[in-house]
A = this chain, B = another copy of it.
Amino acid sequence: MYTLAEENYLKAIYKLSLIAENVSTNQIAAELATKASSVTDMLRKLAEKLLINYTRYQGVSLTQAGEKVAVNIIRRHRLWEYFLVEKLHFKWDEVHEMAEEMEHISSNELIDRLDEFMGFPSRDPHGDPIPDSKGNFKKNDLKPISSVDVNACGIISGVRDHSSAFLQYLEKQGLIIGKKITVKEIITYDSAVILQMDSKDLQISRDVANNLLIAL
């Protein structure tokens, strides 16, 4: 249906669109670790196929068709991650690269059966919601710890950084999905955050607080 490169571009544009409506060539280049000139070439092709809205120098956004394709890729990615963790017992920091390959397996029938096989999970191992077969899913209402007030209390529910370095750090600190935490103090000097978890105090940096999401 779509080439590997096309799918990766659509996914990148979708991801960047969550932050700001309009996505720039350079942002896409950075996201895909490629050059701006390569991006421009691909944007012309995607626009021709009516998957993006594109005017030279003006940035891009996904069309409805493009968004549908992107959401479907995300559905596949998250279902395979769930499979790898729940059925094959991989750790949550080991599955991203594998799922990056598996998300391009084209059969939707396969994905629907996989979904059913696993009991229609609603979130992947990193707490991200899994779109259903029609593409519906709740937008993430999770907040980075860096954005909540002192004394706020919530459940660790997701991450913004999926790198294994970050996930391994969290694991080591016991900061795993489902844990209940309370924000005890925010250090003015460097925006570090002191959390209470399991009746113990734990300090995390601003970067970590930015990338760790909680449900209030």
Footprint of B on A, CB under 8 Å? 84, 87-90, 97-98, 101-102, 105-107, 110, 113-114, 117
Known A88-B117, A117-B87, A117-B88: A105·B98 in contact at CB below 8 Å = yes
Q: Complex formed: what's the CA distance from A101 to B104 in Å?
A: 9
Q: How many angstroms between the C-alpha atoms of A55 and B90 in the bound complex?
A: 45
Give A76 Cβ to nearest chain B Cβ, in Å.
12
Q: Can you give 18 A-B contacts (C-beta < 8 A)?
A: A84-B110, A87-B117, A88-B110, A88-B113, A88-B114, A88-B117, A89-B113, A90-B113, A97-B107, A98-B105, A98-B107, A98-B110, A101-B105, A101-B106, A101-B107, A102-B102, A102-B105, A105-B105
Which residues of the other chain, B, contact A114 by a CB distance below 8 angstroms? 88
Report how far A41 CA is from B98 CA in the complex, Å.
31
Please measure, in the bound complex, the distance between the C-alpha atom of A98 and the C-alpha atom of B102, giving whole angstroms.
Answer: 12
Chain B residues with Cβ below 8 Å from A101 are 105-107
How many copies of the shown chain assemble into the complex? 2
Q: How far is the CA of A102 from the CA of B106 in the complex (A)?
A: 10
Inter-chain pairs besides A87-B117, A97-B107, 9 sampled, C-beta below 8 Å: A88-B110, A88-B117, A98-B107, A101-B105, A101-B106, A101-B107, A102-B102, A102-B105, A105-B105
Q: How far is the CA of A101 from the CA of B107 in the complex (A)?
A: 10
Q: What chain B residues lie within 8 Å of A106 (beta carbons)? A: 101
CB distance from A105 to the nearest CB of B (A): 5
Alpha-carbon distance A114/B107, docked complex (angstroms)? 19
Q: Top 5 nearest A-B pairs by Cβ distance? A: A88-B113, A101-B105, A98-B107, A98-B110, A88-B117
Inter-chain CA distance A107–B113, complex, in Å, is 22
Considering the complex, give the chain B residue whose CB is closest to the CB of A114.
B88
Q: Which residue of B lies closest to A107 (CB)?
A: B98
Task: Write the chain B residue with the least CB distance to A89.
Answer: B113
Residues of B within 8 A of A97 (CB): 107
* Chain B: minimal CB distance from A3 (Å): 12
Nearest neighbor of A97 in chain B, beta-carbon distance: B107
